[in-house]
Structure 1
Amino acid sequence: MFILTREEIEYCVGTKNSGENENSVSGLVYNNNFFIKAKHYELSEYEDALKDCRENFLDNEEIQIPTLMIKEEDSVSIWTQDNSYQTQNSIHTSTPSVSSTKAKSKNFGNFNLDKLAEKMRGENGLNIKTRRHKLKLYHRCFTGSEVVDWLAEKLKMPRTKAVKLGQQLMKAKIIHHVKDEHDFEDSDLFYRFYEDEDKKIWTDKLL
C-alpha cells in the first residue's frame, strides 16, 4: 500500500467491454496501472481508513490486491488495482515536482536512513517473512527486537542507541507497526517496511 497525494496521481476514465455493453468508471492511473475507488472517508477518519486498508486488503489472505490511499485536503480514500479497464480521457493531470518524485535523503546523526534501510532489506539484512499472531497472518514483517539485534550487531552500538535509531526509522516513515498501533519498541511486536506494503505476490515463508 502506498499513501499518496492528489499531485502524485492522474485521474481518468476507464472502460471495459462486457458482452455487447461497455462499462465506464472513474478511476486513476499510478505507475501505468488503473485503480478504482473502494472506500471513502472524511479526513478525521484517517486512522480508521489505515486500519481498514490493512485488515481488509493488505493482511487479507484471500484478497491480495495492490492498494493505494489517496489523501486530499478534506478526505482520504482507498483505491484498488483493476487493469481489466482500459484508460480513456484524463480528468486531472498533474506533473509531480522534482521534490515529490525524487526520494528525499533522511539522516539521523551520521546515519543515512534510506541507505540503512536498503541494507536492512538486503541479503544480510533482517529476517523478513510472514508471521502469525492469534490466528492472523502478517506478511513481510519483522519484530522490533530483531531490528535492535541487527543494528546493535552490524553498527556496533548499545541496544539503547539502536532503539533510538529504530524510532527514527519510524519517524522517517521507513518502517511502521503492522497495525499502526504502537511506537517502535525493543519487543516482539511486528513491524514492516512501507516499501513492502504494495507487494502483490508474497514469496516469504510462514513462521
Structure 2
Amino acid sequence: MLLKSQDVSYCQLVRQFGTISEIVSGVNYQGNLFVRGNSYPHQQRQVAIAEMRRSYLDPEPAVACLLVADGEIETIWYEDRYILKIVEDASDIVTYFNLAQLVEEMRSPQGVKIENRSQSFRLPYLRCAIGREMVDWMSTKLSISRPHAVQLGQRSIDENWLRNLSNKQPFGDNDLYYQFCMDK
C-alpha cells in the first residue's frame, strides 16, 4: 500500500527479543504498528515495491508492509510481531534503551569522542568524554530530546555503566568529564 507521510503517525516503539528491549522508529497506521525498513529515492519505487512483495509473500505468516512517501524518499515499513507498545513518555524511552548496546555504540569509533584530558595542576583524566558531547551524540543518534538524553545518561550512572569523574553524582548536559566504567 502506498501512503503519504501525513497518512501515518510517526512514533517510537518498544521491540523485545527475549530479555532485550530496544526503542525503534515506527509508524502507526489504522491502529497497526510498523517498523522501518529500507528507504529508496522516488525514482526506485518499483524496486521498493518488489522488495515489499517478497517480504509479504515469502515468510509464514505473511508480513504486512507499507510504502510511505516523504518528499523524494519512499520508505518501507514492516509489521513486527516483537513490538510491545508505543513509547508514551520519557520514562518509557529511558527505561527501554539497552544500555549494554548503547555503551558499546558510544565507545565505538563512530561514538562519542573519548580521550585523555587534563585540568591545570591535576593528574590527567584517562579515556573520558564530556557530558555535553555525550548528550549531543545521544540526542542525534537516538532521535531523543536533550532532557531525555540527560535522563539516559543518569540511568547509565545509576546502573554503573558510566561515572562522573568530578564525583558529582547527577549526569548533566555540561562540560564535566565522564568515564565508562569498563575504561577505569
Q: Pick the TM interval, shorter chain.
A: 0.3 to 0.5
Between 1 and 2, higher relative CO (CA 8 Å, sep ≥ 6) is seen in 1
TM-score (normalised: structure 1):
0.42
Query: Whose radius of gyration is greater, 1 or 2?
Result: 2
